[in-house]
Structure formats: C-alpha cells, structure tokens
C-alpha cells in the first residue's frame, strides 16, 4: 500500500510540474524548453539573450549597460548549466533562466532580499514563543496541500521591494481565516509595508512583527482596498483605522532558534506557516525538483534573508520528503511561483535554515 501511495505522489508531483510548464506563455517556449547545454558559442548565447530580453521586455539605457547585463547573463547561464549537469534523478532540483537572469546574485540580494541581521526586532512581542516546545501529531496525514483546501491565494509578486516578510504574513493570515472561518480573504501587503513601523517596509522586516501589527491594529485591509505599490509610501490612516477586514486572535513564533522538525510538521498540518529562509544563488534560479540546498552551509548560524509560506508537505519515497512553499516572485519563478524544499534531512537548521524562524497566527471559531 505504501508503494502505491508513493507512486501516486510521484505522479501528482510530475503532473503539477507539467501543468506549470504548460501554463507558460507561448513566447517563453524557446527560453524554457531548449537544451541549454547546446548553447555554447558567443553567437548562440547572444541569440538566447535577445530572446530572453524580448520575453522580459528588457530595454537598457546605454550600450555599456547592455554589455554588462549580457556578461551577467552569460555568467548565470554557465552557473545554471554547471548545476544541472549534476542532476542524477527526476526529483533533483534544476535551475533555469527567469526574470532575474541578467542580475548578479549580489545585486539581486540588495533589491529582493532582507538584511541578515539579528537586531531587526524592535517591539515587545506579545505572541507565544515556540523555540523550546516539541509537539507531536500522530494523526496528521502523510501528505497535505493547503491549496487543495482553498486556503491559499494566488501567487503574488513583490517586485523590486524587499517585502517578502509582508507576503509571508498575509499568506498565513489568509490561510487561518479559511481554515477557521471557511472564507479566503486577499489581504493587503501594502498596509504592512506602509503602516507597520516595527518593520522597515521595502528595506526588510519580520513576518511575526507583521502579525503583531495586525493583532494590535485589530485587523488588516484587503488587497482591493489597499493595493500593492512595491514602495514604502505613506500610511493611509483612514484605511488602517476603518478597513479591518480580517483579524487574528494571537500568534506563535520562533526566532533564531531552530524548532524540531516534527513541531514544524505539526504546525503545517493545522494551517499554512510563515518561515524565514536563506535564499542563495541556486535559489535565485530555481526551476523545478526538490531543493536540498546542496551549495549552502549554515556555518552553525541561523542567518536568513528571505521569507515564504509553507502550504503543505509530501514525499516521493525514502529520503525524498519535501515541503511545499509559496514564494512572492511571481508565477514565472520556480514551479508556477512555488518551490519544493527537502525536509527530514537530519539537519537541525533544515535546508537553508528553514527551521530557524517561523510564525503563524491563531484564531478561534466564533
């Protein structure tokens, strides 16, 4: 019976990957599906770059900028090819060209990622600290996808703003409202960016600080009422005060102290969970498969520079357990905006420090 379930999960995993690929727009075919190993000469790389530019509607201001971007594109292409040459099985993660392919990892980090600092927390937290608590959930299902329960909104795009923390937080609040109240709101990241003064807007923040803001404010507005601008902006105090569309009753969190993976598993079994993560160069170009952080070493620290939302888990057999995470870089990144990350690795910090910091809102049935 176990082998049958494993096969079904594998086919579901493969089916989702194919559906994601099929949903790509027509002019993306050349870039996504051609064999990058066949692109070797300067002429071939140049032709690929021109196709990539057309796909992403890139226009550079000067010839010097175009030359610089082309060299960066070449470097990223070679890096992708080197990584993909190491693939040994269908579940291994692969890299691919995407909207970031003319950007160096250093530039990408400054624009899209958080500062890896332990001093960003500025307020007296009222949530429940979970770092030293181990829980068990023997009745949890062996696989779970909150998307299938209608507890996850569509993939969003943070743009050139380091606001992943806000998207992670709204995703968790959206999820708990569906789980508890059976309705899925689409909530405003912009309100968190502009109004939550314990975080730093596009310069970075922490998901559980955002939960604290929503708790103290008595709610949060919808995306429709307070739309996303990908900039800090000035807080709309009228909306902040009057549009409290979704609420929470509290929150739990852990910070720079990894929780046992079984505790994270049990939390995800109940609702979508916000987590911090270290997005490295491989992650920038992630395309498919189970990401295992092959090129990342924590060095014993809990450093992170990104935040996402765990929306489920599954397994493709022995040593192939994974988390399903929703990212905020649009549907052209990864598997339609999602990433599968290896779990049960035996690493205390988890893959790329995924066990180190997380949070989730609480809400009572009323």
Q: pLDDT (tens digit, 9 = 90+) per residue, 66-116?
A: 999 999 999 999 999 999 999 998 899 999 999 999 999 999 999 999 975
Q: DSSP character for 128?
A: E
Residue 125: predicted pLDDT: 80
Residue 124: predicted pLDDT: 74
Q: Which two tokens stand for residue 325?
A: 């995470």
Contact between residue 85 and residue 79 where contact means Cβ atoms under 8 Å apart: no
Residue 11: predicted pLDDT: 52
Residue 118: predicted pLDDT: 47
Angle at 36 between CA 34 and CA 41, to 5 degrees: 115
217 carries an active-site annotation: no
Distance CA 58, CA 282 (A): 23
How far apart, in Å, are the Cα atoms of 98 and each of 31, 110, 262? Answer: 9, 18, 34
306 carries an active-site annotation: yes
Predicted TM-score (pTM) of this structure: 0.91
Residue 136: predicted pLDDT: 87
The catalytically annotated residue of 207, 304, 306, 349 is 306
Q: Which of 216, 259, 215, 212 is nearest to 358 (CA)?
A: 259
The catalytically annotated residue of 252, 320, 327, 355 is 327
Distance CA 83, CA 281 (A): 11
Contact between residue 361 and residue 251 where contact means Cβ atoms under 8 Å apart: yes
Q: Which two tokens stand for residue 323?
A: 């988390």
Q: CB-based contacts of 287: which residues, under 8 Å, 6+ apart?
A: 93, 94, 95, 96, 98, 334, 335
Residues in the chain predicted with pLDDT less than 70, given as ranges, are 1-34, 116-123, 132
> What's the sign of the alpha-carbon dihedral 273, 279, 285, 288?
negative
Residue 349: predicted pLDDT: 94
């Amino acid at each position: 019976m176990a082998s049958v379930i494993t096969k079904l999960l594998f086919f579901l995993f493969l089916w989702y990957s194919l559906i994601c690929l099929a949903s790509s727009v027509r002019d993306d075919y050349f870039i996504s599906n051609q064999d990058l190993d066949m692109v070797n000469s300067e002429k071939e790389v140049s032709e690929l770059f021109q196709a990539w530019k057309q796909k992403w509607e890139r226009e550079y201001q000067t010839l010097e900028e175009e030359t610089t971007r082309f060299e960066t594109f070449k470097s990223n292409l070679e890096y992708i090819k080197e990584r993909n040459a190491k693939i040994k099985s269908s579940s291994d993660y692969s890299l691919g060209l995407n909207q970031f392919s003319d950007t160096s990892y250093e530039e990408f980090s400054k624009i899209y990622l958080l500062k890896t600092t332990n001093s960003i927390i500025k307020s007296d937290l009222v949530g429940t600290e979970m770092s030293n608590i181990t829980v068990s959930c023997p009745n949890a299902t062996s696989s779970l996808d909150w998307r299938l329960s209608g507890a996850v909104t569509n993939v969003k795009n943070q743009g050139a703003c380091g606001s992943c923390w806000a998207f992670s937080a709204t995703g968790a609040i959206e999820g708990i409202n569906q789980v508890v109240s059976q309705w899925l709101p689409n909530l405003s990241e912009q309100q968190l960016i502009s109004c939550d003064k314990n975080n730093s807007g596009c310069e970075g923040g922490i998901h559980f600080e955002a939960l604290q803001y929503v708790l103290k404010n008595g709610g949060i507005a919808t995306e429709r009422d307070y739309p996303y601008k990908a900039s800090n902006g000035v807080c709309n105090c009228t909306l902040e005060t009057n549009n409290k569309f979704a609420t929470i009753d509290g929150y739990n969190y852990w910070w720079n102290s990894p929780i046992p993976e079984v505790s994270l598993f049990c939390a995800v079994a109940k609702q979508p969970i916000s987590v911090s993560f270290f997005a490295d160069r491989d992650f920038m170009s992630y395309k498919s498969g189970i990401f295992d952080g092959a090129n990342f070493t924590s060095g014993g620290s809990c450093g992170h520079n990104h935040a996402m939302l765990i929306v489920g888990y599954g397994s493709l057999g022995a040593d192939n357990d994974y988390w399903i995470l929703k990212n905020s870089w649009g549907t052209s990144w990864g598997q339609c905006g999602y990433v599968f990350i290896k779990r049960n690795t035996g690493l205390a910090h988890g893959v790329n420090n995924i066990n180190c910091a997380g949070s989730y809102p609480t809400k009572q049935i009323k």
